[in-house]
Amino acid sequence: MRNFMDEDFLLYSDTAKYLYHNFAKHNPIIDYHCHLEPKKIADDYKFSSITEIWLGGDHYKWRAMRTNGVDEEYITGKSTSDWEKFEKWAETIPYTMRNPLYHWSHLELKTAFGIDKLLSPKTAREIFDECNAKLATPDYTARKFMERYNVETVCTTDDPVDTLEYHKTIAESGFKVKVLPTWRPDKAMAVENAANFRSYVEKLSTVSSVSISTFNDLVDALKNRHDFFASMGCRLSDHGIEEFYAEDYTDAEINAIFNKVYSGKELTNEEILKFKSAMLVVFAEMDNEKGWTQQFHYGAIRNNNTRMFEKLGPDTGFDSIGVFNTSKAMAKFLDRLNSADKLTKTILYNLNPADNEVIGTMIGNFQQGPVAGKIQFGSGWWFLDQKDGMQKQMNCLSVLGLLSRFVGMLTDSRSFLSYPRHEYFRRILCNLIGEDVEKGELPASEIEFLGQMVNDISYNNAKRYLNL
């Protein structure tokens, strides 16, 4: 029987251990998609308690606590203390065994705070006090966590109307970790609510200094902000979409749809789909002009619990996997760009694992030299960001594409303690390859090439692909 989470955690063969400890382990981290707050990095934020840094905003943990019967007041409530919330999480965590939260939480305690104890009601107070004592020291600030985890680059998620003032502050501070913005223009195509869209466009007009009264004005304002993001080091865009949009449309139709929604009139479903289709093309063309990478996260059904959405807002743990028949639209969208020679580097992330093979085969349709792996099957996202999900994604990519050209892992997290997810991923990667060697399915004589392959997936591929 092996010890829990020892140095060979998730490594089940000698080859896997060799690959991890000699290749993957020491690579820096490129976290090219996350939701960290740039202000906290700029301010080198000091956290008030382990509850704030660990439970604040973590809807994964919130879902588990709700499932365990914890009252909402001990999860997101204002009347309960940090200790009371932590205590309820400590009561919950034994019940998360076989949920990835059990692994992630103990990896975070171990790597961030040097705590090997299992969290439980018996150890809760001791761990709470030890973590808080360390958080009170200068070595446990936002920047120090990034340095501790050997982070080289992070790409945040930023709206076109954002000033990026904190990115500027970080860059001028001499902080050794590169913190770059990512263009996330979802609100610029969110025409489901006319009033909200009008309000957003007015904000865009103000920050861009472009007077907006037509669709062309909207595009000009967005190009202005796109240029600004590029001047701040942006390398990527990101798009959170339910499904791909690839309706046929004319310029006249899009102009009329914009005029209608901007005047405060609600759109038909057909008009919404046409407008979104046009905007995806506009965004893609801008990215292509600058050589950026575009990312598409699709397949989530968000804010399913209306009562809790009205109480807590979005990103609070009430989202789920959707079933969308979007493969034809995805192919049409990519082909539309490719036919015009305007298809930039693209990463596709699915939330429904049933789409693994869809993406695995789709990316092969649009690969083009000299860029190796120009179209990428993104790492397991959200509910798939765990051992089973990662294995299925990498096995699918291996069978239908080239795992060796994979750009690897990201945290997709709001937490400064989520970097062990890169370690988790690397261990799983090494175990997959190691198992093949042990079974004679890959040659042991090529161990150095396999080691280089591990290095590439862990670090080098992303660095080259994103021009970092």
Q: Measured between alpha carbons, how far is 395 from 401 in angstroms, rounded to an integer?
A: 10
pLDDT for res 196: 97
Q: Show the tokens assigned to 244.
A: 């791909």
pLDDT in tens, 379-434: 999 999 999 999 999 999 999 999 999 999 999 999 999 999 999 999 999 999 99
Contact status, residue 362 vs residue 374, Cβ threshold 8 Å = no
Helix (H), strand (E) at residue 349 = strand 345-350
pLDDT for res 401: 98
Q: What is the torsion angle, in degrees rounded to the nearest 10, for the CA atoms of residue 457, residue 460, residue 462 and residue 464?
A: -140
pLDDT for res 356: 98
Residue that is written with structure tokens 């969308």 in the block? 324
Q: Measured between alpha carbons, how far is 40 from 107 in angstroms, rounded to an integer?
A: 23
pLDDT for res 427: 98
pLDDT in tens, 30-48: 999 999 999 999 999 999 9
N-terminal to C-terminal alpha carbon distance within the chain: 43
Instruction: List CB contacts of 313: < 8 A, sequence separation 6 or more.
Output: none
pLDDT for res 198: 97
Q: Measured between alpha carbons, how far is 395 from 356 in angstroms, rounded to an integer?
A: 10
CATH 1.10.2020.10 domain extents, the chain: 48-140
The CATH T-level fold of domain 48-140 is uronate isomerase, domain 2, chain A (1.10.2020)
User: Which CATH code for domain 14-47+150-465?
Assistant: 3.20.20.140
pLDDT in tens, 276-333: 999 999 999 999 999 999 999 999 999 999 999 999 999 999 999 999 989 999 999 9
Q: Which residues of the chain have pLDDT under 70?
A: none
pLDDT for res 374: 98
Instruction: List CB contacts of 367: < 8 A, sequence separation 6 or more.
Output: 373, 374, 375
Q: What DSSP designation does 459 have?
A: I
CATH 3.20.20.140 domain extents, the chain: 14-47+150-465
pLDDT for res 379: 97
pLDDT for res 183: 98
